[in-house]
Amino acid sequence: SRHSHLNSAHPSGSDEFSAANSDKNVELPHSDKGADENAAPFKSSFAELQKDNRPAQTAAVSSATDRAVCVGSDRRRGEVEDILCWPKPNYDPAFKNPCWLDNRTRLPSAVLSASRSRLRHPAGILYCLPYFHILGTSKAGTTDFYRRLSLHRDIVPNSGIFGKERLFWSWSKYGYSYRNRGTHNTQFRDYIRGFSPIASSLKLAGPHKRARLVTLDGSPPDMWDFRGWNLLPQNRGLREPAVLTPHLMKHVYRDPKFIVLLREPVERLYTAYFFHKMGYSAQEFHNDVLRSIAKFEFCLRTAPSKRECYFNASVLNEMNVEIGFACPSVYIKEWFAVFPRNRFLFMRTESYIENVKQHLQTVFKFLEL
C-alpha cells in the first residue's frame, strides 16, 4: 500500500489534517491471484449472507416512496423506534432555525420538569432540530472546521461531543458505538433534547435575534454509516434498504442544509487506521489493507447487489480497515435520491486547509448567515 515504505513509527495524537509524506504515484494494490487466500476467513461469515433467502431489493431507492410510511403498532421486537410515525412539526416561521412550540410533550416527565423554566414560552414549550448538518468522511477535518465555524455569533452549539456531534442518526438510534452494538437505543425525543441550548437562547432573544440564530449537528458518520438499516420497520424482509437516514430526516425536518467535507481517500484511511487503533505500524496497515480489499472484492463478486457490501454490518464489521466507508459517492447517491442537490455544499479538505478564510465565507453564504 501507499505507506508500506514507512517505518513502524506513526504520528500518535496528530491533527486530523496531518498526513505522512509519501509517493503520490503509488496506488493501493488490487487483489491478485492470492486474493482469495486473504478473503478465506471472510467467506464463512459471508456465506450466511449468501444463504439469506430474502428477495434482493434491486430497486431499493425507487421503492422508498412506497415504504417510507409509518408502521405504527406493527413494529416488531428488535426493531427500532419508527420515526416515520412522528408528526411533522409545525415549524414557527419567526425562527430561522427549525423550531416549534408545543403544549404537548414526548419528553420524559423528569426531563420536562427540568427544562420548563428554560424552554417555557407563552404558547408552549420550544423544541428545535438542526438548521444544518456537517457530514463527511471520518478524519476529514470536521472538528477543526466546526471549531472555526462555531465562532460565528449566530451559531449555537448542541449538547453533544464538542458541542458538535450527536451521533444519533447513524449510531445511537440503533444502539451502535462505532463498531460495537449493544448500547442503549437513543429515542428521537432524546435527540431533540440535545438542542435545548438553542431553545434556551431563543427564549431570551428578541425578534431580530430569533430570525438569525441557528444550530447544527456535526456527526460525520451520518453520511456513510447505514449499518442499522435492517432494524428499521420499513426495511423488514429486505436484503438491502429501501429506507435510510435521508428518508427519516426528510420526514421530520424542514429544509436542512448539508456541508460535506471530503478528504483524499488513502491519506484519510491511513489517519483513521491509527486514530481508531486498528493497528500500530505501517506494515500492519499494509497487510490489513490487502486483506480488506480481498474481502470486499469477494463480496462485490458474489453478493446479489453491491449495496449489500456497502451497507450491511455483517460485511463491514469484517474489514480490518474502513474500505467500505472510503467510497463517498455510493452514500452521496442515497442522499441525492431524497434531497435536492442545492441543499449540499461540498468541500475538499485539502482545498479548505489551503484557504480557510475563503471557504468559511463560502459556507456562511451557503448557510445565509
In the numeric block, which cell numbers belong to residue 146?
466546526
Cα separation, 164 vs 159, whole angstroms = 8
DSSP assigned state of 10: -
Contact 243, 61 (CB under 8 A): no
Task: List the domain boundaries for the chain.
Answer: 35-89+129-367
In the numeric block, which cell numbers belong to residue 304?
446479489
CA angle 277, 283, 286 (to 5 degrees): 85
Tell me the pLDDT tens digit for each residue of 93-104: 999 999 999 865
Per-residue pLDDT at 60: 45
pTM value is 0.79
Strand 155-156, strand 124-128: pairing: unpaired
Residue 320: strand pairing partners: none
Per-residue pLDDT at 233: 95
Contact 360, 149 (CB under 8 A): yes
CA 324 from centre of chain: 14
Cα separation, 331 vs 311, whole angstroms = 9
Q: Which residues contact 169 (CB under 8 A, 6 or more apart)?
A: 217, 219, 222, 245, 248, 249
3-state helix/strand/coil string of 180-201:
EECCCCCCHHHHHHCCHHHHHH
Cα separation, 125 vs 100, whole angstroms = 8
Per-residue pLDDT at 78: 87
Radius of gyration of the chain from Cα atoms? 22
Per-residue pLDDT at 317: 80
Residue 217: strand pairing partners: 133
Per-residue pLDDT at 207: 92
Give SS3 for 100.
strand
In the numeric block, which cell numbers belong to residue 252?
421530520
- DSSP states of 264-276: -HHHHHHHHHHHT
Per-residue pLDDT at 66: 72
CATH superfamily label, 35-89+129-367: P-loop containing nucleotide triphosphate hydrolases (3.40.50.300)
Per-residue pLDDT at 41: 45
Per-residue pLDDT at 99: 97
Amino acid at 296: F
Per-residue pLDDT at 45: 44
Instruction: Classify residue 152 by burial, with Cβ atoms within 10 Å: 0-12, 13-18, 19+.
Output: middle
- Cα separations in angstroms, 143 against 13, 132, 164: 14, 15, 8
Tell me the pLDDT tens digit for each residue of 242-261: 999 999 999 999 999 999 99
Contact 142, 218 (CB under 8 A): yes
Cα separation, 317 vs 304, whole angstroms = 19
Per-residue pLDDT at 187: 95
Residues of the chain with pLDDT under 70: 1-65, 103-123, 178-183
